[in-house]
Chains A and B, each alone.
Chain A
Amino acid sequence: MLPTINVDDQKCADPLSCRKCLLICPTHVLGLGTNVPIQKFRETDPEHFVVRGVRVDKCTVCLDCVEVCPQNAIQVSFSGGSAK
């Protein structure tokens, strides 16, 4: 089974300026997206940025992201087997 990465978007309020998890991940699994579509003539508010496990096939379940998150917003679960 692939690891599952859950991010609590309520707790993770401004990932674009925090980005601690993005930088610490040794295999660059996490990425930023937005939970609203791009709008004409408008920048997306920082609160609409979300962190997701984009390359979850490369997650080694080291939990560095969980530990570094100042908001305690990331959970990684893994039922065993080999991630690759």
Chain B
Amino acid sequence: MCEWCEKYSDGYERWYFNPANYARRLYKIRKEESEALGAEANPQEAGGMAFIGQDYLEARERGDVATMEQIKQQVEAASWVTHFGQVLTLEEALKIVDMMYPIGLITCACRRSMQGVPDEENFTCIGMGAGMYKWERWPDTYLGGVHFLTPDEAKEVLTKLNKKGLVHTVFTFGTPYFGGLCNCDYPDCAAIRTVVDLGIKVVWKGHYVAKIDPELCNGCASCVHRCQFRALSFSPSKNKAFIDQFQCFGCGLCATECDQDAITLVERAEIPALANIW
């Protein structure tokens, strides 16, 4: 089972369906330094300076596995109490916007940081919860401002971004409180890049795994470009798409593109050897 669900779902099907995890208090005395860090997490820093430092890259370059492992554990432990994400399907993302409030369409800090994308082209991120009432205090974080959305408007935005090919993820700001419903892609999402390139788990795989029905797959390959996790390839000899299920993050983008309904999402928990691959 997903350890976050175990700790924080409180009887709900997933930890991100537990409304309490969207109800961070607006005002309180912060007791733990780590939690305070999460609350003040600077998305700009998270994007630009990207979870991982030069020390890790250098250790990797010289093949120093022990140092790599040590840094990985430190970065993951810090990220898991302050700011990390989990991949969602479109259906799950749509369900979340029905339960959290307020919903603010904001600019993506990662894309601003990696590509300097101008604000008017960059409204691809959804901020949510009590933190959104404080956005005016942090004009630099909310460059471009905030458009508050109704749940229906948010669903329209999410559906459009899914069509475009972006992966929905839910991010904590001071775990277990969620503050971001992000729409990510490789290589400019700091979290996806960090997990795909370096194996550092700042974004967890989702609760599903995609599976291809070889009978239904007609080899059109329209799904192949949808995968942001290097899990989906195309076998020319078989003329079928191929999914590396150990690498699949379960976002379902391939499935939403398949007009043959050849790709289904299977519960991760139902596949023994994948049940604990997060």
A: residues with CB less than 8 A from B are 1-2, 15-17, 19, 22-23, 27-28, 30-34, 37-44, 52, 54-58, 84
Nearest residue in A to B47 (C-beta to C-beta)? A31
Within B6-61, the residues touching A (CB, 8 Å) are 42, 44-45, 47-50, 54, 57-58, 60-61
Which chain B residues border A15 with CB–CB below 8 Å?
Answer: 116
The answer to whether B42 touches A57 (Cβ under 8 A) is no
The answer to whether A38 touches B114 (Cβ under 8 A) is no
The answer to whether A33 touches B45 (Cβ under 8 A) is yes
Q: Name the residue in A19, A30, A33, A54 with the highest tally of chain B Cβ atoms < 10 Å from its Cβ.
A: A54
Nearest residue in A to B136 (C-beta to C-beta)? A41
Show 25 residue pairs from A and B whose CB-CB distance is below 8 angstroms, ordered by the A residue. Answer: A2-B57, A2-B58, A2-B61, A16-B116, A19-B115, A28-B115, A28-B187, A31-B50, A33-B44, A34-B45, A34-B48, A37-B42, A38-B42, A38-B140, A40-B137, A40-B138, A42-B140, A43-B139, A44-B140, A54-B49, A55-B187, A55-B197, A57-B197, A58-B197, A84-B61
Is B113 among interface residues, defined by CB-CB distance under 8 A?
A: yes
Is B112 among interface residues, defined by CB-CB distance under 8 A?
A: yes
Which chain A residues border B61 with CB–CB below 8 Å?
Answer: 1-2, 57, 84
The answer to whether B141 touches A32 (Cβ under 8 A) is no
B: residues with CB less than 8 A from A are 42, 44-45, 47-50, 54, 57-58, 60-61, 112-116, 136-141, 143, 187-188, 193, 197
Q: Which 4 A-B pairs have the closest CB atoms?
A: A33-B48, A19-B116, A31-B48, A28-B187
* Cα–Cα, bound, A49→B273 (Å): 46
Nearest residue in B to A53 (C-beta to C-beta)? B54
* Cα–Cα, bound, A58→B113 (Å): 17
The answer to whether A54 touches B44 (Cβ under 8 A) is no
The answer to whether A28 touches B188 (Cβ under 8 A) is yes
Q: A2-B61, A38-B138, A55-B193 are in contact. Are A28 and B114 (CB under 8 A)?
A: yes
The answer to whether B57 touches A22 (Cβ under 8 A) is no
Which chain A residues border B193 with CB–CB below 8 Å?
Answer: 55
Which chain A residues border B136 with CB–CB below 8 Å?
Answer: 41
The answer to whether A31 touches B138 (Cβ under 8 A) is no
* Cα–Cα, bound, A7→B58 (Å): 19
* Cα–Cα, bound, A84→B198 (Å): 12
B194 to chain A, nearest CB (A): 9
Nearest residue in A to B49 (C-beta to C-beta)? A33
* Cα–Cα, bound, A22→B115 (Å): 5
Nearest residue in A to B134 (C-beta to C-beta)? A40
The answer to whether A33 touches B113 (Cβ under 8 A) is yes
* Cα–Cα, bound, A43→B142 (Å): 9
B64 to chain A, nearest CB (A): 13
Which chain B residues border A19 with CB–CB below 8 Å?
Answer: 115-116
* Cα–Cα, bound, A40→B137 (Å): 5
* Cα–Cα, bound, A1→B59 (Å): 10
Nearest residue in A to B48 (C-beta to C-beta)? A33
The answer to whether A34 touches B44 (Cβ under 8 A) is yes
Q: A32-B112, A32-B113 are in contact. Are A55 and B50 (CB under 8 A)?
A: yes
Nearest residue in A to B193 (C-beta to C-beta)? A55
Which chain A residues border B45 with CB–CB below 8 Å?
Answer: 33-34, 38
Which chain B residues border A54 with CB–CB below 8 Å?
Answer: 48-50, 114
Nearest residue in A to B117 (C-beta to C-beta)? A19
The answer to whether B140 touches A32 (Cβ under 8 A) is no
A68 to chain B, nearest CB (A): 13
